C-alpha cells in the first residue's frame, strides 16, 4: 500500500483548499475542507467545524450508511480517532472521512476531493466529486500525509 499526500494551499475564512497527490507526485484531485477552527483545549481542532491539523494519518476503510466505501483518518496523537468509542475520554475528533462532496457544507470536518476547483454562485467548490472518489479508490492507500504549502499559513 502507498501514501496519499494532501498539500493545503489556501486557508480561507470559510474553507480550506488543497491538492491531493499519489506517492509518485501525480495530481489526483483538488480538495475542499472546513476552515481551521482551533479548539483551545485540544490539538485536533474543533469537532465537526474544523479541518484536522497537518500530520500523518492512518487510513481505515469505512462504509458510510449510504453504502459508499471511503476511509477514515486516524492519528491518536492529534486527537483524531476512528470511532467515538475509541477516544480516551469525551474529547477528540472521530469519523473524519475522505468522501464525496462539492461544497464546504457537504463536509463536517472531512475532506472532499474533486477533479477541479472553481467558484460557482460566489461559493468555492470542487467539481465531479463522486467520479473523483471512484477514480481515487482511496481504500488502496494506507496513510494520508497532510501538509501546508509554504506561505499558505502564518509561520
- Residue 32: strand pairing partners: 17, 112
Which contiguous run of DSSP H or E holds residue 130? Answer: helix 129-136
10-63, pLDDT tens digit by residue? 999 999 999 999 877 777 899 999 999 999 888 999 999 999 999 999 999 999
Query: Which three cell numbers, joined as nine digits, stand for 34?
Result: 472546513
Q: Please report, for the chain, the start and end positions of each structural domain, with discontinuous segments joined by +.
A: 2-148
91-130, pLDDT tens digit by residue? 889 999 999 999 999 999 999 999 999 999 999 999 999 9
60-81, pLDDT tens digit by residue? 999 999 999 999 999 999 999 9
Amino acid at each position: 500500500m502507498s501514501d496519499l499526500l494532501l498539500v493545503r494551499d489556501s486557508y480561507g475564512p470559510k474553507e480550506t483548499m488543497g491538492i491531493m497527490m499519489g506517492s509518485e507526485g501525480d495530481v489526483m484531485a483538488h480538495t475542499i475542507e472546513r476552515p481551521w477552527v482551533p479548539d483551545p483545549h485540544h490539538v485536533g481542532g474543533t469537532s465537526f467545524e474544523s479541518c484536522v491539523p497537518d500530520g500523518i494519518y492512518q487510513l481505515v476503510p469505512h462504509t458510510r450508511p449510504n453504502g459508499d466505501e471511503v476511509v477514515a483518518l486516524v492519528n491518536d496523537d492529534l486527537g483524531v480517532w476512528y470511532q467515538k468509542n475509541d477516544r480516551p475520554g469525551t474529547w477528540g475528533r472521530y469519523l473524519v472521512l475522505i468522501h464525496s462532496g462539492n461544497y464546504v457544507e457537504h463536509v463536517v470536518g472531512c475532506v472532499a476531493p474533486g477533479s477541479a476547483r472553481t467558484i460557482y454562485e460566489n461559493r468555492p467548490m470542487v467539481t465531479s466529486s463522486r467520479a473523483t472518489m471512484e477514480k481515487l479508490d482511496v481504500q488502496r492507500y494506507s496513510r494520508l500525509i497532510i501538509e501546508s504549502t509554504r506561505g499558505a499559513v502564518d509561520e
